[in-house]
Chain A
Amino acid sequence: MVERKRIEIPEGVKIKESVGEETEFPFDISPMYEGERVRKGDMYVELGGTAQSGFELVLALPEEEVEDMKVTLVGPDLDEMEEGKAYPYAMIYYIAGSQVEQDLEPVIERRNHDFQNYIEGYMHLNQRYDIWIRISKGAMKKGLKSLTQIAKATMLLFKNELPFIEKIEALYITDGNLVDKLLNEVAMPIYDERDARVESLHDEDVDEFYSCTLCQSFAPTNVCVISPDRPSLCGAISWFDGRAAAKVDPEGPNRAIPKGELLDPITGEYSGVNEFAKEESGGEYDRIKLHSFFENPHTSCGCFEVIGFYMPEVDGIGWVHRGYPEPAPNGLTFSTMAGQTGGGKQVVGFLGVGISYFRSKKFIQADGGWYRTVWMPKELKERVAKYIPEDVRDKIATEEDATTIEELKEFLKKVDHPVVTGVVRPVDGKKITDGWAEEEEIEEVAEEVAEEPATVEQTAQPQPMQIQPVQQMSVQMPQMPAFQMPQIQLSSQPSTPGIKLIIKDAKIVIDKVIIRSEEKKGGK
């Protein structure tokens, strides 16, 4: 943790100080100036940008260390700058307040962008060490003389808009040496620390998750729940992005979801998420477990980058990304599976995720996470390799090892993948699968069940819409008997409302069965 303290200003540098609130400014301040572009021809000076270094930083300090509404400028001021030139620029704010915590620093820091753009004739772009400012000739003509005026106006906006800031002080620097020194010694370590938080922040550390309903035009019942351990399915939105968007537009497509009570730490079930899911899906779903593959999984919109698919024959899960055109070992391509799974449904046996979910420490933890993963295309595996636990990394097959179920079985047996003997999920050490049963046993069951499909079809018809996707799939791909499996189970318990459990029961026995019988047919 980088220590937060006031910046020491070296001796002998030129300093300008100003204390106290100002109410009169030689420029307008209004949100209508947001987005205003100062063109090169209209520019008085440029600060930061590509030519000069610059950064902005907010530091939370104890109350007694912050002198309210004071600004210190180190280096040349506007009236000492040459028109048309670029200068280094650092904006550092010390803030204090009983509710001000270090966690809020980045949230407050990004508002500098908003507030400074309210200033007429002042263009602020980018963030952190990338800041790029242009001040217009027009602003100078209207009477802007000093960067201390900019600092005062910005501080005023901070206090007005974010009342929990009780004290604020600004240190602006245009002295190139000092900007570079502080950027390297103070700012960069803090930015790095914040980025490291992406990896270290977990669901249990926050009170709110965020929703995303941007996709509801395609998938009306889709509810993307974005938590620190689960980014959006499209891969674009992290918890931090959700928070930023919800702060700007609380009623927009990214809204806060109070996570409520933790119902199950293993599957990631929260009462707040369940309530939200029920509301947003129009009552279609009332449970979503964030880190579960089989039970009440997250809905899949259609935008997901990767689809996970269960292969009952090996009792393992494969993942295939959008860019992989070949069929996965289950015989299906990404687009076929995506077409059946998308639309905002909970389809058991398939799960859409964003690539960044593979980085999550809670990656389908309820169902064994990486230890249940048996196959992924090489390209995808290489992209996420460093997040795969070392002891299973080489046991996950790619298309170079296996392109069919049979080859996959051979491979998994050869490398002794956990699914062969039974998966122990790391999260609580529970053994969740039994491993592969004896070959002969399976043959027997195979024949028993294989004779049933006719009756199965009939009983399955009047079932409620939850089986719809499965039916469609079997119609489109009649040669894929794996998908008839849930129907077979349904026939034995016709009025069962909960499909998920049934499928889990069925997976080993029945699916293996069907594949076997298919092969036999082929053989004859």
Chain B
Amino acid sequence: MTTIAVTGKGGTGKTVLSALLIHFISQKTTNVLAVDADPDSNLPDALGVAELVENTLGDVREVFQVSRDEMGTTNKEQWLEGKVYAEVICECDNFDLLVMGRPEGEGCYCFANNLLRGVLRRLMRHYDYIIIDSEAGLEHFSRKTIESADYIIVVTDMSKKGLSTAKRIKELSEELDLGFKEIFLVGNRITNKEAEEVIRSFAEQNNIKLLEFLPYDEKIAELDLKGEPIVNLPEDSAYYQKVKGIAEKIEELHVRSITS
């Protein structure tokens, strides 16, 4: 199992990158779990499978909170597991999709989350790849709903804020003890050499491995605007090819981890 968390400041294009990585990797193996762990993002839309999503993990957790008193002696962990498998995990053609959904409401979620941690841990270990589109606060990691990540890919644009968020994510992921093997930086929508230099020296200073610079692509903006799936990006575009390269690198890392 290789877990990749794609994160970064909002609006830097991490969902685009996540969707394309899922798209490429799931063409090689269908044993892929895509996780939307950012309540603000729209990974299902980017993947073109939004209409298949029935429920989010958050929805099911809310149902649990209100109906648990009436459950009698039924086993609550099995109840939650059944809901997650039947209603939350969305079976797409080449991959499974799990949407974490809304954050917790009022009241105590300790028990529900504790049960869900167990359910997700047992579920996730069976996938070859788990690709997580995660908000910058890494909330699901800090709550341990998602246990760990092998690789963290931080996406930044040309803004100073994008970089300072990247730095914070690096610090946070170390604090959270995620046990990751490597943290990568991807520069997105980079249009000039000067920005590349700034990002390159930032990566060096902060000990983050620079993975790739992705260009600005008008077609992405257009797809976004129309609400069309990002995976419809033309195959001959530079953006498409570069992300394909990142996917190949991840596959190499995965193969190395299971053979070594």
Contacts and interface: CB of A to CB of B under 8 A. Distances in A.
A238 B73 CA distance: 8
A236 B110 contact: yes
Most buried by A among B79, B108, B123: B108
A236 B123 contact: no
The 7 closest A-B pairs by CB, nearest first: A35-B122, A303-B108, A195-B72, A236-B111, A234-B108, A126-B82, A214-B110
Interface in B106-153: 106-108, 110-112, 114, 119, 121-126
Contacts of A235: 68-69, 108
Contacts of B107: 234, 303, 305, 322
B123 A215 contact: no
Nearest to A35: B122
Interface in A183-209: 194-195, 197-198
Contacts of B126: 35-37
B122 A34 contact: yes
B159 interface: no
A194 B73 contact: yes
B73 A198 contact: yes
19 contacts: A35-B125, A37-B126, A39-B30, A40-B91, A41-B91, A113-B78, A123-B85, A127-B78, A127-B82, A130-B82, A195-B72, A232-B111, A235-B68, A236-B65, A236-B76, A241-B75, A244-B76, A305-B107, A356-B69
B6 interface: no
Interface residues of B, number: 33
B46 interface: no
Contact of A39 (B65, B82, B91): B91
Nearest to A128: B74
A250 interface: no
A230 to B, nearest CB: 14
A36 B111 CA distance: 23
A215 B108 contact: yes
B62 interface: no
Interface string B9-38: 000000000000000000000100000000
A110 B122 contact: no
Interface string A110-133: 100100000000010111101010
A241 B71 CA distance: 11
B163 interface: no
B89 A253 contact: no
Nearest to B122: A35
B81 A237 contact: no
B77 interface: yes
A131 B82 CA distance: 9
Interface in A226-252: 232-238, 240-241, 244-245
B86 interface: yes
Contacts of A303: 107-108, 110
Interface in A305-352: 305, 322-323
A253 B114 contact: yes
A355 interface: yes
A50 interface: yes
B196 interface: no
A422 interface: no
A194 B72 contact: yes
Contacts of B106: 322-323
Interface of B: 30, 65, 68-69, 72-79, 81-82, 85-86, 89, 91, 96, 106-108, 110-112, 114, 119, 121-126
A130 B111 CA distance: 22
Interface in A35-53: 35-37, 39-41, 50
A5 to B, nearest CB: 22
Contacts of A212: 111
A240 B85 contact: no
Contacts of B121: 35
A244 B72 contact: no
A214 B114 contact: yes
B89 A37 contact: yes
A37 B85 contact: yes
A48 to B, nearest CB: 11
Contacts of A197: 73
A195 B73 contact: yes
Contacts of A234: 107-108, 110-111
Nearest to B124: A35
**Main SS class of interface, B:** helix
A459 to B, nearest CB: 38
Nearest to B77: A244
B68 A236 contact: yes
A355 B91 contact: no
A106 interface: yes
A432 B74 CA distance: 39
A35 B75 contact: no
Contacts of A37: 85, 89, 96, 123, 126
Given A303-B107, A322-B106, A356-B69, A244 B75 contact: yes
B123 A35 contact: yes
A195 B73 CA distance: 6
A127 B80 CA distance: 11
A456 to B, nearest CB: 37
Interface in A414-447: none
A232 B114 CA distance: 15
B85 A125 contact: yes
A359 to B, nearest CB: 8
B75 A110 contact: yes
A253 B124 CA distance: 22
A125 B89 CA distance: 14
A355 B67 CA distance: 12
A260 to B, nearest CB: 25
Given A36-B126, A303-B107, A236 B112 contact: yes
Nearest to A215: B110
A240 B112 contact: no
Contacts of B114: 214, 253
Nearest to A237: B111
A40 B108 CA distance: 35
Nearest to A359: B69
Contacts of A50: 86
A237 B126 CA distance: 29
A210 to B, nearest CB: 12
B162 to A, nearest CB: 33
A138 B47 CA distance: 28
A83 to B, nearest CB: 17
A237 B77 CA distance: 11
Most buried by B among A36, A125, A215: A125
B123 A125 contact: no
B78 A39 contact: no
B188 to A, nearest CB: 32
A486 B236 CA distance: 78
B78 A110 contact: yes
Contacts of B124: 35
A11 B81 CA distance: 38
